[in-house]
Structure 1
Amino acid sequence: MTSPRDLSVASYNIHKGIGTDRRRDLARTVAVISEIGADILALQEADTRFGTRTGLLDLERIRRDLGLIAVPLDGVGDAHGWHGNLLLVRNALVHEVHQLILPGFEPRGALVTDMLIDGQPLRVVNAHLGLLPGSRAAQARALLDKLGSLEARPTLLMGDLNEWRGKSAALKTLGEQFMIGHLRPSFPSRYPLLALDRMMTCTQGELLDIATHDSPLARRASDHLPITAKLRLVPQTAASV
């Protein structure tokens, strides 16, 4: 039996398309997305933040030129994401998308997307946690509570978790279900010092070659650098033994 290929995954806070030069340039953002070349890409801050949220990216161009399709969402109006979170996938069959409102001082949300990709079941969580430690702790618990209510399947969590420390209440909570993995500084993009952006898996997956995508264009396009990895899923027959 042929082993499934490793999937290219990435997470990127695009900062609403505003670069370190303080210009909003969505064409530049799309160029960085093209550089990344991911099969699954979790974006944060993909919509305007204040007033009526409005999507910023040209999703049709991204579909046509890069082969990445936005997972469908309900009730978001002109927004592309859910509380700014947008998930793009390549050659995947989306089964169900859960749009979570997360607790905390600021309006925050997360997407939980069940899909079939390369014949493999996968659940992807795309989250952008709050700025306050207490909010992040509550949000991490809300995520695990939601996941605990769903049928088990291999799960990958990605996003801007706003955690720069190796240990925190939020990461301790997430560690109950996920392997936290290695830290890769991604913020600020010009001189990355803090590992605000994270990805982690359950025991049915392994992240390989975790890195920041540190290109000259990425350093200008957002205040965050993207983080990338290869996701290797444990075949279901082996995982169930």
Structure 2
Amino acid sequence: MKIVSYNIRKAVGRDRRRRPARILQVLNDIAGDVVILQEADLRLGARPSALPRNLIERETDYVVAELGTDVSLGWHGNAVLVRRDLPIEATEQFELPGLEPRGAVMVSVAGLVLVGAHLGLLRVWRQRQMNAILQHLGDHREHALVAGDFNEWSGSAGFEPWEGRLNVVSPGFSFHSARPIARLDRFAHGPSLRIAEMGVVRDGAARLASDHLPVWAQVETLAAVKE
């Protein structure tokens, strides 16, 4: 299953224009099975979606996993889009500790447990949020994939709460899209999964659509690999 993670900065591109259709063009070009978004909703008032639902329905092959409200797409800006022919088996959202409001979403798709999160700016809080995600996963950790903007600039430190529990991988430099120098957008997976391929999308509309570049991972279960 091809999983995409993308911080869309509320659909505001490097040209400072809010263009939802451009974000959807990027997603269509990547052709992932599941898309995990960060900053998918505006931060004011009722947090209306930066990507209109009717535009998603009309312009893509995705459906929105029901995690938000009548006006928002997700939970604390985290949203999930799933290819129409894939079964969404469960959806859930939960709070994360932090100085500012943070949360995560959990969606089960075709037997895979996916968590989307946008972690905090301070490492001490990021690590508390990692612990909260682990606790919430519980017995699902073995076959779970966490994806999102982890906000960790270090290439080797900062993920101690997940050591021995989740394997953190980086597809490459994804921030800033004008000149990528940081691996902020990553994946972390349980021991029953493997990443067959992964990458950063650096061409086409992705260069302008957000301050982050989208990342993707081809995820397989070890049982399927052995077969």
| TM-score bucket of the superposed structures, by smaller chain | over 0.9
Aligned to 1:232: 220
Which shows bigger deviation, 193-202 or 52-61? 52-61
Letter in 2 for 1:49: R
Could you tell me how far apart the structure 2 residues matched to 1:152 and 1:110 are? 15
Could you tell me how far apart the structure 1 residues matched to 2:211 and 2:113 are? 28
Aligned to 2:54: 60
Runs of 4+ in 1 over 4 A off after TM superposition: 150-153, 236-239
Contact 2:134 2:141 in 1 (8 A): no
Q: CA deviation at 1:237?
A: 11
Q: Secondary structure at the match of 1:27?
A: helix
Contact 1:114 1:122 in 2 (8 A): yes
Change (3 A) 1:151 1:159: closer
Q: CA deviation at 1:194?
A: 0.1
Aligned residues with identical type, % of pairs: 36
Contact 2:42 2:50 in 1 (8 A): yes
Could you tell me how far apart the structure 2 residues matched to 1:237 and 1:160 are? 28
Aligned to 2:143: 154
Q: Deviations over 1:40-76 (max 9, x none)?
A: 11000010012220012132332343211111126x3
Root-mean-square deviation (CA), in Å? Answer: 1.9
Contact 1:42 1:158 in 2 (8 A): yes
Aligned to 2:26: 32
Letter in 2 for 1:229: A
Change (3 A) 1:67 1:27: same
Q: Secondary structure at the match of 2:80?
A: strand
> Please, which runs of 5 or more residues in structure 1 have no aligned partner?
1-6
TM-score after normalising by structure 2: 0.92
Letter in 2 for 1:195: R
Letter in 2 for 1:100: F
Aligned to 2:197: 209
Letter in 2 for 1:158: A
Aligned pair 1:86/2:79, yes or no?
Answer: yes
Structure 2 residue corresponding to 1:139, chosen from 103, 109, 129? 129
Q: Secondary structure at the match of 2:87?
A: strand
Q: CA deviation at 1:216?
A: 3.4
Structure 2 residue corresponding to 1:11, chosen from 5, 11, 23? 5
Q: CA deviation at 1:104?
A: 0.7
Contact 1:213 1:227 in 2 (8 A): yes
Q: CA deviation at 1:177?
A: 1.7
Could you tell me how far apart the structure 2 residues matched to 1:195 and 1:228 are? 13
TM-score after normalising by structure 1: 0.87
Contact 2:114 2:146 in 1 (8 A): yes
Q: CA deviation at 1:151?
A: 4.8
Aligned to 2:37: 43
Could you tell me how far apart the structure 2 residues matched to 1:125 and 1:233 are? 16
Could you tell me how far apart the structure 2 residues matched to 1:168 and 1:130 are? 15
The aligned length equals 226
Q: Deviations over 1:174-220 (max 9, x none)?
A: 23321112451100001101000001211111112211111131111
Q: Secondary structure at the match of 1:38?
A: coil
